[in-house]
Amino acid sequence: MISVYHYMTVSAILFAMGTYGVLTRRNAIVIFMCIELMLNSVNLTFIALSSHLQSMDGQVFVMFVMVVAAAEAAVGLALMISFYRNRESIDVDDMNLLKL
């Protein structure tokens, strides 16, 4: 029988992989995709717990997470296009104006 712990374990593995991707990759779009992976693993936890506790609140929260992810996608990709227009690259190592 599948318990809520199975779903939470899958979610933990996906979240750790997303963390690794955000910290290692240099391409800004891939970092963005890894953030989406982390958001989705949290969504899986929300829905598993909401189904386990027989409540609707977690699923409404998932909907708000999706709204914020859509807004983030629009603004983040616009930022990347604007950065690419200035620097001809979307490598995060080139975003070093604040470095000493």
Q: Which is nearer to other proteins, 75 or 97 (CB)?
A: 75
Site track 36-55 with other proteins (rule: CB under 8 A), x = hit: xx--x--xx--xxxxxxxxx
Q: Which is nearer to other proteins, 87 or 97 (CB)?
A: 87
Q: Which is nearer to other proteins, 56 or 97 (CB)?
A: 56
Using DSSP, state whether 3 is helix, strand or coil.
Answer: coil
How far apart, in whole angstroms, are the C-alpha atoms of residue 39 and residue 94?
Answer: 26
Determine, following the binding rule CB under 8 A, whether residue 95 of this chain makes contact with other proteins: no
Q: In the numeric block, which tokens belong to residue 76? A: 């983040």
Structure letter (DSSP) for residue 88? S
Determine, following the binding rule CB under 8 A, whether residue 99 of this chain makes contact with other proteins: no
